[in-house]
């Protein structure tokens, strides 16, 4: 909890950079989309460019508390996600050990990690959406939500229960390969380093976990960006910090197409640097904790037997 609190400003900076389009066109808006949503004024200059300038701008305009916007739903997200993920992963890896067939270890870890990530993402997704919206909202008159309870009531009233799952498709599409890559890379790297160094030190869990986080985050980052842009769609879109610059996006693949056409491949990787700065130590700590927890659970199972 303390570590996540310390790195919380990286989340806010990453989200602001991900939501910041620097387009050359306005995505086509279907006639079924209410005209009140508007479109992107192409002449507006970007608010955020680069990690440090973004940090300074938030600090200057929103004070230091702006760097911790969305921290409470983020903590609820991490707790819910972590518990669901590792419990599901443990049961799936056990279920895939069958006497009738033998899966390659890398494939078993990929399948288990991916499915566990999908289940955990679905369960914790409303907290993820709230974290994004709080991190993206402005101060003063443009403030969208005053508290978590207020945000829940407002979203349910104006968007229905489906509003809590905006961008869910991108989230699940991302998390399956992401968690698959995390666990597969973690297990392979840990084995490789263990064989090379002739050691089974717990430090290897952290090192391999950090590398796994970097590989997985880089490979799936475009879907993370798409998820963020979809999460702030809806009736409150224009009231966020970058709302008057953010186009209307509809669906995962159409959003990917629009971002590519407007901003090029680079547009899909806005915020990657700060995301990797956060992902490496977080993944290292997560996988180390996971390995410690798995050893403890295994010890309990053996003790019961």
**Over 60: is that where the pLDDT of 8 sits?**
yes
Residue 39 lies in a domain: no
**Over 60: is that where the pLDDT of 34 sits?**
no
Could you tell me what percent of the chain has a pLDDT over 70?
Answer: 88
Residue 302 lies in a domain: no
Average pLDDT over residues 141-167: 95
Token code pair at residue 165: 């799952």
**Over 70: is that where the pLDDT of 32 sits?**
no
Domain harbouring 87, CATH code: 1.50.40.10
Residue 85 lies in a domain: yes
List pLDDT tens digits, range 69-113: 999 999 999 899 988 988 898 888 888 887 777 888 878 888 888
Domain range for 243 is 1-20+49-297
Number of domains in the chain: 1
Q: Are 130 and 148 in contact (CB under 8 A)?
A: yes
Using only the alpha carbons of the chain, give its radius of gyration.
Answer: 20
If one compares 61 and 106, the residue with the highest pLDDT of the two is 61
**Over 80: is that where the pLDDT of 269 sits?**
yes
Residue 29 lies in a domain: no
Q: Any idea how long the chain is?
A: 305
**Calpha distance 77→128 (Å, rounded):** 6
pLDDT at 36: 40
**Over 90: is that where the pLDDT of 292 sits?**
no
Average pLDDT over residues 183-190: 85
Residue 33 lies in a domain: no
pLDDT at 2: 66
pLDDT at 303: 59
Q: Are 120 and 85 in contact (CB under 8 A)?
A: yes
pLDDT at 254: 95
Residue (of 181, 170, 175, 180) closest to 268 by Cα position: 170
pLDDT at 127: 97
Residue 304 lies in a domain: no
Residue 35 lies in a domain: no
Angle, CA of 83, 208 and 197, to the nearest 5° = 135
Average pLDDT over residues 270-291: 84
Residue 267 lies in a domain: yes
The 3-class SS string of the chain reads CHHHHHHHHHHHHHHHHHHCCCCCCCCCCCCCCCHHHCCCCCCCCCCCCCHHHHHHHHHHHHCHHHHHCCHHHHHHHHHHHHHHHHHHHHHHHHHCCCCCCCCCHHHHHHHHHHHHHHHHHHHHHHHHHHHHHHHHECCHHHCCCCCHHHHHHHHHHHHCHHHHHCCHHHHHHHHHHHHHHHHHHHHHHHHHHHHHHCCCCCHHHHHHHHHHHHHHHHHHHHHHHHHHHHHCCCCCHHHECCHHHCCCCCCHHHHHHHHHHHHHHHHCCCCHHHHHHHHHHHHHHHHHHHHHHHHHHHHHHHHHC
């Amino acid at each position: 909890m303390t570590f996540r609190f310390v790195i919380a400003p990286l989340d806010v900076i990453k989200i602001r950079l991900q939501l910041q389009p620097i387009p050359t066109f306005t995505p086509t808006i279907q006639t079924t989309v209410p005209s009140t949503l508007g479109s992107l004024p192409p002449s507006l200059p970007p608010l955020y460019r680069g990690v440090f300038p973004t940090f300074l701008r938030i600090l200057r305009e929103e004070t230091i508390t702006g760097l911790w916007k969305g921290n409470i739903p983020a903590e609820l997200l991490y707790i819910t996600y972590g518990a669901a993920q590792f419990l599901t992963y443990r049961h799936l890896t056990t279920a895939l050990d069958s006497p009738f067939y033998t899966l390659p270890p890398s494939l078993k870890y990929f399948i288990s990690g991916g499915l566990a990530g999908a289940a955990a993402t679905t369960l914790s997704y409303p907290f993820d959406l709230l974290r994004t919206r709080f991190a993206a909202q402005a101060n003063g008159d443009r403030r969208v939500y005053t508290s978590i309870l207020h945000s829940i009531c407002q979203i349910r009233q104006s968007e229905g229960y489906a509003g809590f799952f905006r961008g869910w498709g991108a989230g699940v599409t991302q998390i399956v390969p992401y968690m698959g890559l995390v666990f597969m890379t973690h297990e392979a790297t840990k084995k490789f380093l263990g064989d090379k160094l002739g050691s089974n030190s717990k430090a290897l869990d952290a090192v391999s976990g950090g590398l796994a986080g970097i590989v997985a985050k880089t490979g799936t980052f475009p879907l993370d960006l798409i998820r963020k842009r979809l999460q702030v769609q809806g009736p409150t879109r224009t009231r966020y910090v970058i709302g008057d610059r953010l186009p209307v996006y509809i669906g995962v693949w159409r959003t990917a197409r629009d971002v590519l056409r407007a901003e090029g491949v680079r547009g899909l990787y806005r915020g990657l640097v700060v995301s990797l700065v956060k992902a490496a130590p977080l993944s290292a700590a997560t996988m180390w904790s996971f390995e410690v927890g798995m050893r403890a659970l295994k010890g309990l199972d053996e003790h019961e037997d």
